[in-house]
Amino acid sequence: MRVVLATRNRHKLEELRRILAAYDVELTSLEEFPDVPDVAETGATFADNAILKAQAVASATGLVAVADDSGLSVDALNGMPGVLSARWSGRHGDDLANLELVLAQVADVPDERRGAAFVCAAAACGPDRRVVLAEGRVEGTLLRGPRGSNGFGYDPIFVPIGETRTTAEMSAEEKDAISHRGLAFRALAPKIGDLLSL
C-alpha cells in the first residue's frame, strides 16, 4: 500500500518509516511530488491541521495521504505553544529558537509546576476525501536546560513521566515506543487500509 506523508520534513519521514515498519505501508513524502504546494496550517487544533494537510495532499496526488500536526503543550503557558510549536519564535522550523523561547517563558516557574505534554493528531485521507484520525499524548515535565542530542524540536527539554532522561537522550527506538507520534500513528495504521477497502 503506497502512502504519501504530507511533509517534506526529513526527520518526520524517518521517524514514521520506523514507526510503520511493521505495517504493509510503502511510505513516501512530498519530496517525490514537488508540484504539490505546502498546505497552510490554519486550523485551531492539531486534528484540524492534520485533516487539512491529509485532504489536500490526497486530492493533489491521488494517493492515500497521511499527515500529522503535533507539538508541545505547556501547562504554565495555558497549553501553548500548541499548534504554533514549530513557529513559536516567529521563524518556522527554528528548533533552537523555539526551545530557547519556551525556556525563557517558564524560567520563573517552579519545578513542581513545569508540566507539559507532547500531543500528536494523525490523519489519513483517501482520494475520495474520507478521513480517519488518531491521537497520541505523552505527559511529562520541562527541564531548565537542554540535555541530549537525539531527536529534534523540544526533545532536549522534555522528560516523559516515569523517565529520568529527555526524549533527546533516548535512542530512536526507545523514543518511538513511547512518543506521541508513535502512539498516534500506531493507532492510525490499522485504519489506513479501511480507506482502500470501503
Catalytic residue ranges: 69
Cα angle 49, 151, 183; round to 5:
50
Residue type, 67: A
Closest C-alpha to 158, from 112, 108, 99, 105:
99
- Report the distance separating Cα 4 and Cα 140, nearest Å: 31
For 149, half-sphere exposure in the C-beta direction (CA atoms, 13 angstrom radius) is 0
47-50: list long-range contacts, CB under 8 Å, 24+ apart: 47/121, 47/123, 47/133, 47/135, 49/83, 49/121, 50/121, 50/122, 50/123, 50/133
* Strand pairing class (131-142; 158-160): antiparallel
Do residues 89 and 97 make contact, with C-beta atoms less than 8 angstroms apart?
yes
Residue type, 136: G
Q: Which three cell numbers stand for residue 140?
A: 511529562
